[in-house]
Amino acid sequence: MPALLIAVRYGIPAAVVLAGVILFAFGPPEGAAAIVAAGLSIWLLNELYRLGVRGDRERDAEDAARAYFDRYGHWPDEDDDST
C-alpha cells in the first residue's frame, strides 16, 4: 500500500484524534471531545467509502462472470465437460 494512501486513510484521522486528546489537557473538554469525534468521523467515512468500492468490484466481477456464461454456456469456475 502506498505511503500517501496510508497517511490519508489512517494518519489524518489519527492526527485529529491526537489533537483532541492533547486539547483535553489544556482546553475545554467539550471542544476536545468534538475534535476527537471529528477524527473518528474521518476514519469512519474512509471505511464506509472502502466498503462501497468493494461492492462495486464484486458487482463488476459478477457481471463479467454472467457475460462469460452467456458466451460459453458455463460459469468461469466450472469445468467444461462438453469437450
Digits of tens for pLDDT over the chain (83 positions)? 799 989 889 999 999 999 999 999 998 899 999 999 999 999 999 999 988 888 777 888 888 999 999 998 888 888 766 55
N-term to C-term CA, the chain: 43
Cell matching residue 50? 472502502
CB 38 within 8 A of CB 16: yes
- Structure confidence at residue 80 (pLDDT): 65
CB 41 within 8 A of CB 49: no
Q: Which phi and psi angles does 49 have, rounded to 5°?
A: -65, -45
Cell matching residue 68? 462469460
- Structure confidence at residue 83 (pLDDT): 52
- Structure confidence at residue 41 (pLDDT): 97
